[in-house]
Structure 1
C-alpha cells in the first residue's frame, strides 16, 4: 500500500517534534513517523541552556515550560581527589546576546508539550523505517509493516542509528570508550536543594548531582571511561556509581542509594567525527538529517538536546521559506509549482539549512570532546591540569557555546 505525503519526518524525538511543530506553525503540513508505539522518553532530563530556551521561545513553548522548571544560578565543581572546590561559575553574568538562562528540563514534559501542539494524526506510531528508495523527484519510505510512503521531502531525526543518515552516506557514529549512567529520583515532597548544578570530578569519571528540575525531582548522571566494568544492570550500575563517589558528600551518596532501579539507565557514548561533518552530506537532494542523526556528541557541554532544538527551528524556517511565499495580506500560501520546481526549492531549502548548521555543529562536537577529555581525565597530568589550571576555562566554555540564538520562525 502506497501513501503520499508532502514532508515526512522520521523520529518523534526532540529534533523531529520541534521540526514538525515549526513547520506546522509556518503553514507546512507534515507527517512524523515514530518506530515505537508511543513517545519514547529516554534520559529522564537534560540541562537546557540559554540557546535551548531561545529555540523554545521561537516555537512558542518557552513560557509554559519555564513555569515547570527551576532556573539555575551557578555551576559548582568539586574534586573528589582533593576535596577542594575547583569552579564556582555564576550564570548571572550577561552573555554577548543577553542574559543566560539555565534549567533542568524533564524530557517527558517537553516531548508531550511538543506533541500536544501538533494537529491530530501528525504522528504515526509503530512506523519503523526499514529502507529508502528513489522515485524521480520523490523518495519512497518503506516501513516494517509493508506500507510505502511517497514524499517530496524526507527529514531524518531518527537518532544515532539513523537509517536516513546511512542513506546519506554517513558512517555509524564512533564509540568513545565511555559510558553515561543517568538517574532520576522523585522525593515526593520538596527536596530543598538549591537551584544549581553540582559536579564532582574524579580519576576517570565526572558526575553531576543535585540537579533539580522542579521542587520534588532531581536528575543525576555519571560518565566514566570504565565502560567494560559497567554492566547494563540497574542494581550493579548503582553499586558502580556509589563506588566512584566514596569521597563525595553523604547527601550525594543518599541520592544514589534511594534512586529506584527503574529510574537508572546506561548509555554508551558515541559521537560523529568533526571531519565527517566537514565532508559529509548533511543534505542531499530532498533529504537531510537533524539532531543525533546529524551530530551525535558527548554530553560534556550538555548541548545534544539543546542543539537538536536549534536544528528544528532552523530547518523549519529554511524549508518553509523554500516552499511558501509571503503574500501582501500577511498570510502564507503554498505555491503551485511543477514537480521539478518543487524539488529544486526543497533542495535549496535543505542546502541552506545544512550551510547554517554545519559549522555550529562541528564546533559543538569538538568542544564537547575536548572538555570531556580533560574533565574525565584518568592520568596524573590531565587530572592536575583539570583541577589546578583548566577548571574555570572548561566551565566557561559551557556558557560560551550556549550564548547562541538560532533565530525566529519566520519566512520573511
Structure 2
C-alpha cells in the first residue's frame, strides 16, 4: 500500500517542521519553496519552552540547543534603564521543563532541513494554483503538478494557499509600527542577560546569541511604508532614535554592521473562521500571523506542525483529521495572537501619564505572578504526551 503523500507550500520554520513530523509518521512529503534556497535572513529568534517541547516531539530539541544560547535572565527596563521586571531563566526551566533559547534563524533552518530527505526539498518552486477537488487536491507549481492526499499552506503572511481557498479572508492589517532587527559583531564582553527597554512609543530589546553576539530589535510607532531605502539609512535612523538610550544600547548599536540592519512593517492576520478546508490546512503565519511581542510566531508554528501530524497520523479521512486540527489549534493560536497584540499596544504607549501608569504597574507586579500569567502560553504539552499540570485558558 503506498504511503500517504503531503505537499507543503512554504519552506520556513513551520513548513519544514510539518514535513519532518509527517515524514517521521510514514508520509511521503515534498516542500515547495519559492525562494532559490532554503534559508532565513539574518536575524535571531527566541524559542520559548513550548517551542522546545514541540522540537522535543520532533526529536530535534537537542540539536537546536547545540546551536543556541541560554541567557541567565531577562526582563523589561524603563527609558532610564531601571528594571521594571526580571525573569530568571533557571526558574523558567524549572516551571516549564525547557529554557528560553535564542539562536540565529539560519541555524534553526539548517537543523530542520538536515532532518529531511534532500529529494523532498524543492527550492525555486513557486505555487501557481491550489484546488481541493475529487479525487484529491491539486497543486500547480513551477515544477509541474502535484496530487497529494494533503496540502499544507505554510507560506506566510501573504499566503497563496489562503488566497486560493479562503477568498473571503480579511487582508493582513498593519500593527502600527515597524520592527528593526540586527545582529552585532562578536563583543569582547557581551551582556549576560537580555532586556526590552520601553520608552514612549519606542522600544529597544537585545538578547544573547552564541559566539558573543547579541540579537537586537527595535520598534517605533510610525505609518506603514516608511522604509528609508537602504540598511545604512535605517542604521542612521536607529542611532538618531536610540543612540542616547541607557547602556548597553549605544555599545550594541556601535557593534552592528550598518549594512545588516533589517526593517519590516509588522502585520497581523485578522482571525480566520477555520484553519482547514477539506484536505487543505494552514499553519504558522498563513493561519495566524501575529506581532512578535511575545516571541511566539515561530513557537506557535512549531506547535501547529506537531499537532497537525498527530491528527492525520494513521487516518484515512484527512478532512476529518484536519477538522480536529482546527479545533485543537485555532482557539489557542488566535488567543496567543490577541495577547501579543495587547502587549504591543502597552509597549508602544506614548502619552506620558499612561507611560507612568504602565511602568508603575510593571514594577509592582511580582515575578511569580508574571510567570503564572505566562503558563497558558508556555506550558503547552504536545498531543499524545502526558499532561503534568492543568493549563489555564489564554485570555
TM-score, structure 1 as length reference: 0.85
Q: Distance in 1 between matches of 2:341 and 2:236?
A: 27
How do 1:174-193 and structure 2 match up within 5 A? 174-187=173-186, 191-193=188-190
- Alpha carbons 2:54, 2:303 under 8 Å: kept: yes
Q: C-alpha displacement at 1:93, in angstroms?
A: 2.6
Q: In the alignment, which residue of structure 1 is the partner of 2:276?
A: 283
How do 1:2-401 and structure 2 match up within 5 A? 6-42=5-41, 44-80=43-79, 82-93=80-91, 98-143=96-141, 145=142, 147-169=144-166, 170-187=169-186, 191-209=188-206, 211-227=207-223, 230-273=227-270, 276-277=271-272, 280-322=273-315, 342=316, 345-390=317-362, 392=365, 396=371, 397-398=373-374, 400-401=376-377
Q: Distance in 1 between matches of 2:209 and 2:229?
A: 26
Q: In the alignment, which residue of structure 1 is the partner of 2:389?
A: none
Q: Distance in 2 between matches of 1:382 and 1:307?
A: 31
- Alpha carbons 1:5, 1:31 under 8 Å: kept: no
Structure 1 residues 97 and 200 mapped into 2: Cα distance closer, same or farther (>3 Å)?
A: closer
Q: Distance in 1 between matches of 2:92 and 2:176?
A: 36
286-295 or 196-205: which moved more?
A: 196-205
Q: Distance in 1 between matches of 2:148 and 2:84?
A: 53
Deviation readout 1:288-344 (Å, 9 max, x if unpaired): 10000011000111000111111111111111232xxxxxxxxxxxxxxxxxxx4xx
Which secondary structure state, in structure 2, belongs to the residue aligned with residue 186 of structure 1? coil
Which secondary structure state, in structure 1, belongs to the residue aligned with residue 281 of structure 2? strand
Which secondary structure state, in structure 1, belongs to the residue aligned with residue 119 of structure 2? coil
- Alpha carbons 1:204, 1:377 under 8 Å: kept: yes
Q: C-alpha displacement at 1:146, in angstroms?
A: 6.6
Q: C-alpha displacement at 1:254, in angstroms?
A: 2.5
- Alpha carbons 1:321, 1:349 under 8 Å: kept: no
Q: Distance in 1 between matches of 2:19 and 2:305?
A: 8
Q: C-alpha displacement at 1:44, in angstroms?
A: 1.6
Q: C-alpha displacement at 1:371, in angstroms?
A: 0.6
Q: C-alpha displacement at 1:6, in angstroms?
A: 2.2
Gaps of 5+ in 2: 387-395
Q: C-alpha displacement at 1:27, in angstroms?
A: 1.1
Q: Distance in 2 between matches of 1:266 and 1:47?
A: 18
Q: Distance in 2 between matches of 1:200 and 1:162?
A: 33
TM-score, structure 2 as length reference: 0.88
Q: Between Structure 1 and Structure 2, which shows a larger proportion of strand residues? A: 1
- Alpha carbons 1:5, 1:150 under 8 Å: kept: no
Q: Distance in 1 between matches of 2:330 and 2:279?
A: 17
Q: What is the number of residues matched between the two proteins?
A: 377
Q: Distance in 1 between matches of 2:126 and 2:134?
A: 23
- Alpha carbons 2:93, 2:99 under 8 Å: kept: no
